Amino acid sequence: MGDYLKLASGVPTDANANATSAGAGDAGKIVKLDGSGKIDSTMMPIGVGAETRSMTTSEAVAAGDLVNIHNSTGPKVRKADATTAGKESHGFVLSSAGSGASVTVYPEQAVISGLTGLTPGTRMFLATTAGTSTATAPSTSGQVVQDIGYAISTTEILFNPRQPITLA
C-alpha cells in the first residue's frame, strides 16, 4: 500500500497526507481533503480549478469583498464600489487582509461564499457601499451599474461580472 498508508480498522488512513502542495517536492504523496472537505486548489493541475492571483491590497479588505484592480506603484487591489467610474469589480476575496498585505483574488467566474440574506436566482450588482453587492442596481447620475452575477443560495453568489456602465 505504499509508505504513506497505514490500515486502522480496515480503513486507509494517512498521517502524512497533504492538504496543500508546495509543488514538485510533494510528488508521490497522497491527497487529503482540507478543513472544508474539499481538495485545496494548490493540488490541482494548471487550468483546473479557480484561477487566482496573489495581490497586494491598498486598503483593508474583508472576506467576501468585491475588489478593484488598479495601479498604485504597481498592481494593487482595493474595495470595488459603484459610486464612481474606475472602481468596478474585477474580482473578489474570500479572506480578510489589512492594507499593504497579500491577499488571494478570484478574478474569474467562481462562487463568493460566506454572505447572508440573499435570494437565490436574484441578479446582483456592485453596490455603492464599497466591497459589497446589492439586488438593486444603482440609479444616480455618475454611479456605475455593474451586474456581478446572481445569487445561487442564501449565502453565495456566482461571480460573473459584466462590463460596467456609468450612468449619465
pTM: 0.74
Quote the number of domains for the chain. Answer: 2
Q: Do residue 58 and residue 79 come from a single domain?
A: yes
Confidence at residue 26, expressed as pLDDT on a 0 to 100 scale:
80
The predicted-structure confidence for 121-142, as pLDDT tens digits, reads as follows 999 999 999 999 999 999 999 9
Q: Do residue 120 and residue 144 come from a single domain?
A: yes
Q: Do residue 41 and residue 94 come from a single domain?
A: no
Helix (H) or strand (E) holding 94: none
Q: In percent, how much of the chain has pLDDT > 70?
A: 87
The predicted-structure confidence for 41-99, as pLDDT tens digits, reads as follows 777 776 676 778 999 999 999 999 999 999 999 999 999 999 989 999 999 999 999 99
Where does the pLDDT of residue 1 fall: very low under 50, low under 70, confident under 90, or very high at 90 and above? Answer: very low
Confidence at residue 13, expressed as pLDDT on a 0 to 100 scale:
58
- Asked if residue 104 lies in contact with residue 44, where contact means CB atoms within 8 angstroms, the answer is no
Confidence at residue 10, expressed as pLDDT on a 0 to 100 scale:
54
Q: Do residue 95 and residue 60 come from a single domain?
A: yes
Instruction: Find, among 64, 66, 85, 68, the residue nearest to 77 by Cα.
Output: 68
Q: Do residue 43 and residue 63 come from a single domain?
A: no
Q: Do residue 90 and residue 115 come from a single domain?
A: yes
Helix, strand, or coil here: 24? helix
Instruction: Find, among 103, 129, 104, 119, the residue nearest to 156 by Cα.
Output: 119
